[in-house]
Structures are given as structure tokens and as C-alpha cells.
Amino acid sequence: MSATAEHQTYTGALKGEPNKSFEEIWAQPRGIRSLTSVSHRVVGKRFIVTGFIFFLIAGLLALGVRTQLIVPGNTFLDLQTYNQFFTMHGTLMMFLFAIPILEGFGVYFLPLMLGARDLIFPRLGAFGYFCYLFGGIIVLSSFLFDAAPESGWFMYTPLTTKEYTPGLSADFWLIGITFAEIASVTAAVELIAAILCARAPGMSLTKMPIFGWYILITAFMIAIGFPPLIIGSVLLESQRLLGLPFFDAAFGGDPLLWQHLFWIFGHPEVYIIFLPAAGFVSTMLPTFVGKPIFGYGFLVAAIVTMGFISFGLWAHHMYATGISPVSLSLFSAASTMVAIPTGIQIFCFIATLAQGRPRFTTPMLFVFGFLFIFVLGGLTGVMLASVPFNFQVHDTYFVVAHLHYVLIGGMVFPLFGAFYYWVPHFTGRMMSETLGKWVFWLMFIGFNTTFFLMHVTGLRGMPRRVATYPEDIGWDRLNMLSSIGSYILAAGIALFVIDFFRHLRSGEPAGRNPWGAGTMEWFYPTVAPGYNFRAIPPVRSREPLWDQPELNEDPAAVGGVLRAYPDHRRETVGCDPLSGEPLHIARLPHPTWVPLFTAFAIAVMFGSLLVSAYWVTAGAFVAMMAGFTAWAWEPSDSGVTRDAGLGYRLPVDKADRRSHTYIAVIGTLLILGALYFSLVFGVLYLWNTFPDFAARIARPDPLMAGGAIAAAVLMAVGAMAAKWLSMRDRFLTAALTGVVTAALGAATAGLLYLAIADIDRNATALGATAWAIVAYVGVLMFIAIWWALFNALRKLTGRTRPGQHVADFNFSPFAKGVALFAATTGALLLAAQGALP
Amino acid sequence: MTTRKNQAIALAAPITIWAVHFIALYGLISASCGPRMLMPIAVMQMTTFIVTVVALIGAGLPLIRVPVRHQGDDLATAIRVCALISVIAIIANALSFPFFSSCGG
Ligand code: HEM
Ligand SMILES: [Cu+2]
């Protein structure tokens, strides 16, 4: 038991707004100050709108590609522009449209469905959005400088190295996309914590709408799947900027290492795109069938196993690179196995349909379109998973056809269904059913015309990524029809946009729960107020609006927790991740400029890196650190308990292993660990593949490496001691221990540096990668030191009151994680000393 | 340990074991078929066999003893299906290993 109970008499919130009513506390800032908004409703909408704009831009690029290919020998686009168009098309679609827009739906709808007033880390959401926006702008701005990336969306080396791509185009890609990926991983942590830790009272994991499971597993996949590409991009960018030879075969580097890192990300990416879209489908189906989803348990199992198995097939994109047949058999096995969870999901969808008579609304049409197209894409996928067939059609239009069947069928059709389904929630009005059916049929017919024929074009041998082709080898008519199909598809999308603007003014008002759905986002009449729930009602069913009649009465009067707001703060209820029982009151931040400021500082940092203005980079770094510090500095509200209604008396911001902040630290460690192991993978891979080069490297210093391990262990002990002391309110000694912990962290990093000081990082790729690992651990240590000193400073300046332990409680696992990475690095260096021949 | 906690573990464990098994096999292949040829292929196959048996036992446990909280517990279904898929996928990982007499094709 902590000291919490003794300090209940504190007046609660330092940042409360005692003169404001509940509605005023939650009011959205207007005008220019709307940029300070942190509400998930605002941030989610921004993600969706921005993502859709990127979709339109990427679509226009695709039309350019199709127009170029409409007749043989066409000169509509010159060769370089053509390369830029398909590269930017793939890049924008995959990185700046698909993932962010799906995350936007998660950000917007999860709190509503789960019974929370906001996403659990509102500022992080806003920060992630701005990172995404600025990253996207960096990538797009390359067109202005006539330096658009042109090496294909997977940026293979050596084509993308300085020698073969001298200008800035590859740098735009690497820096801009990495920046946007930071947004994706922050959103992932945020979604994990929000799903696990902020649900309505009584909503256990099995009472959670299936959409929650879909997004939860997607978020975990992003946390593990994006780091390999982030590492790959950072390595490639430092090869381009600093000349480190990571992928340079002349120095024992390997272009295939890039392919591994890229596809360890790239294949799961496809499932990261598919899963949330399947989540839309399983949310819409029950509504229109009027029955709960069939086989909830089966679906959960399918989602979880798919999340894992989809990581085991990356090398099926590398079948043609000469990987040993034994490994091919392993990857082929996983490629086949992933069909099981996919099949289970499709089966559950069809069984749900079979339970009742579905209403053929526009969203339902899109669901049918999804089933039809995605299943076809799955079939060609099975064909591609067979190694001999794969050799045959590798890099032909067959692959382009397959990937669009899976991506457009699996993601774009559900997405448009979701637009029609949820638009009333955003705007309070319905879109036209008549026009909607037109949109669907135009898209469906246009899509199949364009892409079905591409299978044939591919089987007739037409390679992808060629800007033109000769007459009379049997490709003309097929290409002509494909291009016409793409115009029909585009007409459908244009009609959607027109109808959207039309409905804003003259759409029918939607009222309350227009589709008769069972999930909680329809609890209020549209448009729901920004706080989502006046009081958060207990949930006893997976379809609460169907099974709990009291929820269909006046939503402002429905009984629940947190009706009173004694401290005049934004707050929501934090729950036990498994049972959904209320655990504590989570205080939420009010509007602030800090996320925008910090994201902007990072944008300047990356932008100046692009133009080699390193002084600006340094200045922006300082601004970024200042931003993060200001972010964390705000006074803590914890250490008190409050009546929450319905008989609950809950602590505020509890220091607990089940609280959102702790879970977020664990989630962050997961990401940091994935980054770390991507580097370790690189080291092991290079060491194993090029023994000659490994033999040339200087040996690390064993004494220093051993010392680093010892210092890392002591640092972890220090962090634990600081926590122990702090939990007992011994703040002075805790602060001093924190300072010692920071010093030990610095010592660890310094010793690791000394251990590898003799290794020449320019001479071999393996040596450079060893440096990269130590540099990475150094960055983590820097963060740990910063955090330890920050905690100490707050205690020494009297900002921590008795009973407030969250900061030290959460620092401890972080320090332990970082110490573990450091110690592992030390152990690897020791092994290199002894074991490397 | 509450039943809920057991259930969470039983849900996540089998497929995590699949992941570890996959990584182990990938590592074994790389060790045996990489330029360093750290172990003969027969040793690699033997190790694969042992690793697979251990993994199957671990991943199969929830099939035999599922923690159930109440009748019609969806999580119990999810646990069973998850474990079943994991077991099949582990077998698939290792299935073709015995049939290779060398690394080259
Ligand atoms: C909206 C209609 C779309 C059309 C008409 C279209 C058309 C095309 C065409 C013709 C190519 C091949 C270019 C070439 O190889 O020369 C291509 C490539 C590609 N498309 Fe699409 N596409 C569409 C939507 C999408 C969507 C929604 C996604 C992803 C979510 C996507 C992802 C890709 C990717 C990753 C490539 C490969 C780019 C590369 O080779 O680097 N496309 N698209
Ligand atoms: Cu793949």
C-alpha cells in the first residue's frame, strides 16, 4: 500500500478551471487556437481528411501512369517523370494514405465505442498528427524541387545510394517517410494504451466490440513492424550523408540487408492495412444483418494469429534473390499458414450474413465488393506463394494486379463503406443512397476492368515499372482497356467527393443512431458532443445499444461514473485491462500549443538535415527537447482520491502496473526493442554472410565492454531504488538516487563507446553497424538520463507532493529496458572479442 | 493468478511460441547454410526436431487445459482456436526440413 490514502485532503487539480461548467471545460478552441486542440474527435478527423487528400493526389498520379500506358510508344510522360509518378503513387498510398487514415478511424471511434471521453494521451495524438502532416509535406515538396523519388516504393539499394541517385530525391523519401512513421508508432502506443486502459466500467476484453481487437493487434503490429524500416532508412540515409558503408558490397555490406529490413516491415504492412479494414466490415455487418457478429471467439483467435504469422513471410518478396531452398520452405510454410486466419475471418463474415436478411444499403454494397475482390486477390496470392509460379511472373503486371486486388479490395472498398456508414457521425447528415450506389458500381466496374486485365497482361510478360512498350506484341488492347477502366474508377471516386460536398448542405439530418447499430458510438444523437459521454455508463454487453434499454433514453441523463467534476478538469475513467473494472481517474490535458511546437521543431530538424544546414539542425534539436520538457513538466494531479459515482471511490492517476502511463512505457519499450533487434539482426546477418570482412575488424575492448555491463546493471538498480524511495515519499534521497542513476547511465554509454573506439566505422559494413548499435544505445541513454534528472529536478524544486509517485514508478521499467539493451550490447561485444574468428 | 490472467496468457502463449520457433529455425538455417557453415545440416535437422517437439508441447498445452470462466466463454474458444492454429503452423514451419540433404537446391 502506498501513501495515497493518507493524502486525500489535497485540493485536487492545479490546472483545474473552477469557473467553467462541464461543457466549457470540454469546449473546442476556435479560430487559430483550434491548432491547440487535442481532442481525439478533432485529431481523428484531421487524420482522415489529410489521408484522403493524399489518396486523391496518389490517385491522380496513378491516372497519369495509366494515361501514359494507354497506347504503345506514348510520350505523355517522359521516362523520369514516369518513374517519379509510380514511385510517389506507391509511397503516398502505402505510407501517407492507408495507414494514417485507418489510424484516424481508430483515433476517432475507439474512445466512443469503448466508453472514454478522449483518447488516453490526447497530446500524443495531436503530436503524431502534426508529425504525419509535416512528413507528408516534406515528401510531397520534392516535386517542387524537381527531386521526387523515382526508385520505386521499396527504394532498393544500390539504386538508392549516392552513386546511382546523386540528387536529393532519395533523401526526401528517407527523411520524410521516417518522420511520418514516427507518427504511426506514436499513434500505435496511444491506441494500445487507450484500448487496454480506458474502457467503460464492466467492459471486459470479451465485451469489447470486435473493432477494438482489430485495432489493438494492428497497433502491436505497427509497434513491431515499423522499426525495421525506420532502422533501414536511418542506415541508408547515413550511408548517403556520412558515407558509412552499410549496404555497400565493396565494404562487406549487402543490398539484400536492405531488402530484408524493408520486407520485415513491408509484408506485415499489408496486414496492418487489412486488419482495421476488416474491423470496419465486422462493425458494419452486424448492423445491417441485425444480428451480432458470428464467431466472436474465432475472430479474436484469427486476428491474434494473423498478427503474428504475417511477420513470418517477408522473404516471399525475395524468392528471386537466391535465398537457400531450406529457408524458402520455411517462408513458404508461413505464407500458406496465414491463409487459415484469413479464411476464418471470411467464413465468420459469410456466416454472419447467413444469419439474417441483410439490408442492401450503400455501406453493405461496399462490404460485398470487399468480399468479392479480396477473395480473388487471395487466390492470386496463393498462386504467387508457389515458388515456381512466382519465378515466372516476378515483376510483371500479374503482381501489380494481385497487389491492387488485395489492397483496393481489402482496404479501399471497406473504407468507402465506412465513409458512408460513419459520415453522419462526423457531419450530422446522411449521404445520398442513390448516388452512393452509383459510386459503388462505377468503382466496382472500373476497378475490375483496370486490374483484372492486368493479370493477363502480366502473364503475357509485360514487366511492371516500364514507361512504354512496343506495338504488336499483344499488350496494346489490354492496356487501353485497363486505362479506360481506371477512368471509370476515378469517376466513381469523383462522384463520392461531389456527393460529400453536396450532403454537407442538403443531406438529410441523421438524428440518433441512423442505422440502428449496437455499438456505443451512436449513443448520442449526431453530432455527439466533444466529451462523448456526460457520465460514462456501465456496459454489460457487446452490443450495448441493443441489449441495454436504458442507454436509449436521454443520453445526458443516463447514469454512470464521473458525472461530478469536483476538480474542473477533463477526465475519464481508467480501467483494469482485463476485467474493465474502474481502476482510477485519468486526468486529461486541456488544449495546448506544445504538440504543434514540438512537431514543428522536429520538422525543421529533418528539413535542415536535407539541405545540410547543420546549425539549424542543432537549434531545432534544442527546441525539440524544450518542447518535450515543457510537455512533461506540467503539475501532477495524482495522490488524491475522489468519489466517481456508482459507489466507486477512485484514486487520481494511480501509479499502478495496469495504468495507461505504465502500459505506454511498456509499449514504447516494445518499439525501442524492435528498433534494437533490427540492428542486432543487421550485425548477425553481416557477420554470418561475410566472414572475410568480419575477420578484418579490430576487436572491441573486453574490459570496457564488461564495465559497461556492470554500469548498466547498477543503473537499473539505481532506478529501482529511486522508485522504492519515492514510493515512501522520501523525496530528497530519491532525487539524489536519481542523479546517481543518471551518472551511471552516462558511464554505461561512455564505456560502450570506449569499447568500440578502435573499430573503423568506414572500413566495413559490420564495423559501421556495430557503431550504429552503440550510437542507438547512446540515444536511449540520453533519454533515460534526461528523464532521471527531470524527475530529480521536480522533486528538488518542490513540484512533487507526497503521494505522487507516477513519474518514478514509470521511469523504473524504462531504465531497466534501456539497461537491458546496453548490457546485451556489451555481451555482444564480449562475444565478438572471444567468438569472432 | 486470476482466471482472467491465465486466460490472457493462454491466449498469447502458443502463438508467441510459434514466433520463437520460427526465429529459431531461421537462425538454425542461417547458421547451417550461411557461408560460415556453423553446423552440419544433419545437426541442424536434429536440433530442429528437438526444438519443434518442445514448441509443440508448449503451444499445445492450452488445447488440453483451457481456463474457462463460464459457459459459452468466447475467450475460451479463442484460446483453443489460437492454440490449434499455432500447433499447425509450428508443424508447417518444420515440415520440409527432414527432406533436405543439402542447403543447395
Ligand atoms: C485508385 C486507383 C489505383 C490505380 C488506377 C492504380 C494504378 C497503379 C499502376 C498502373 C501501377 C503500376 C505502375 C508501374 O508498375 O509502372 C501501380 C503501382 C502501385 N500501386 Fe496502385 N493504383 C491505384 C490504387 C492503389 C492503392 C489504393 C494502393 C495502396 C493502398 C496502391 C499501391 C500501389 C503500389 C505499392 C504500387 C507499386 C509501386 C512501385 O512499383 O513502386 N495503388 N498502381
Ligand atoms: Cu508479402
How close, in Å, is residue B57 to chain A by CA atoms? 18
| Closest CB to B89 among A298, A300, A337 | A337
| Closest CB to A330 among B31, B36, B93 | B93
Domain A670-835 of CATH type 3.40.50.1100: no
Binary contact (A325, B75; C-beta < 8 A): no
Q: What's the pLDDT tens digit per position in A723-777?
A: 999 999 999 999 999 999 999 999 999 999 999 999 999 999 999 999 999 999 9
- Rg of chain A in Å (alpha carbons): 27
* Nearest Cα residue to atom 35 of ligand 1: A90
Dist CA A765 CA A753 (whole Å)? 18
Q: What's the pLDDT tens digit per position in A176-225?
A: 999 999 889 999 999 999 999 999 999 999 999 999 999 999 999 999 99
Q: Which residues of A touch B81 (CB under 8 A)?
A: 297-298, 301-302, 344
Cβ neighbour number for residue A110 with a 10 Å cutoff: 27
Tell me the Ramachandran region of residue A11: left when phi exceeds 0, alpha when psi lies from -120 to 50, beta otherwise: beta
Q: What's the pLDDT tens digit per position in A594-617?
A: 999 999 999 999 999 888 899 999
> Across-strand partners of A814?
none
Cβ neighbour number for residue A164 with a 10 Å cutoff: 11
Q: Is the Cα dihedral A66, A67, A71, A77 positive or negative?
A: negative
* Nearest Cα residue to atom 43 of ligand 1: A62
| Closest CB to B81 among A301, A324, A325 | A301
Kindly tell me if the per-residue pLDDT of A1 is higher than 60: no
Q: Which three-class secondary structure state does DSSP give residue A652?
A: strand
Q: Is the Cα dihedral A95, A97, A100, A105 positive or negative?
A: negative
Which of B:67-96 have CB within 8 Å of A?
A: 73-82, 85-86, 88-89, 92-93, 95-96
Helix (H) or strand (E) holding A299: helix A296-309
CB-based contact, A205 to chain B, within 8 Å: yes
Kindly tell me if the per-residue pLDDT of A834 is higher than 80: no
Q: What's the pLDDT tens digit per position in A641-690?
A: 999 999 999 999 998 999 999 999 999 999 999 999 999 999 999 999 89
Q: Domain locations in chain B?
A: 2-99
pLDDT band at A450 (very low <50, low <70, confident <90, very high): very high
Q: Which residues of B touch A685 (CB under 8 A)?
A: 30
Q: Which three-class secondary structure state does DSSP give residue A824?
A: helix
Kindly tell me if the per-residue pLDDT of A5 is higher than 60: no
The listed CATH number (3.20.20.10, 3.40.50.300, 1.20.210.10, 2.40.50.1020) that belongs to domain A42-506 = 1.20.210.10
Q: Domain locations in chain A?
A: 42-506, 670-835
Going by C-alpha positions, the residue among A159, A80, A160, A95 that lies closest to residue A131 is A95
Strands (E), A495-620: 570-575, 582-588
pLDDT band at A13 (very low <50, low <70, confident <90, very high): low
Kindly tell me if the per-residue pLDDT of A835 is higher than 70: no
pLDDT band at A12 (very low <50, low <70, confident <90, very high): low
pLDDT of residue A832: 84
Dist CA A462 CA A396 (whole Å)? 6
> Across-strand partners of A463?
A396
pLDDT of residue A180: 92
Kindly tell me if the per-residue pLDDT of A387 is higher than 80: no
Gap from CA of A127 to ligand 1 centroid (Å): 30
Dist CA B54 CA B88 (whole Å)? 14
> Across-strand partners of A429?
A509
Residues of chain A by 3-state class (helix, strand, coil), percent to 5: 70, 5, 30
- C-alpha grid cell for residue A688? 554470418
Gap from CA of A600 to ligand 2 centroid (Å): 35
Q: Ligand nearest A338 Cα, by number?
A: 2
| Closest CB to A324 among B18, B29, B97 | B29
How close, in Å, is residue A459 to chain B by CA atoms? 26
Dihedral Cα B12, B13, B15, B18, nearest 10 deg? 160
State percent of chain A over pLDDT 90: 81
Binary contact (B33, A691; C-beta < 8 A): no
Q: Which of A79, A374, A400 to mutate to test the pocket of ligand 1 (most atoms within 8 A of CB)?
A: A400
Indicate the average pLDDT of chain A: 93
Q: Angle formed by the axes of helices B74-95 and A339-354, to 10°?
A: 140
Mean pLDDT across B78-90:
96
Instruction: Identify how many contiguous H helices and E strands chain A contains and give both numbers.
Output: 26, 4
Atom of ligand 1 nearest to the CA of A65: 10
CB-based contact, B26 to chain A, within 8 Å: yes
pLDDT of residue B1: 57
How close, in Å, is residue B33 to chain A by CA atoms? 7
Is-same-fold flag (A42-506; A670-835)?
no
How close, in Å, is residue A312 to chain B by CA atoms? 7
Binary contact (A309, B78; C-beta < 8 A): no
- C-alpha grid cell for residue A55? 489518396
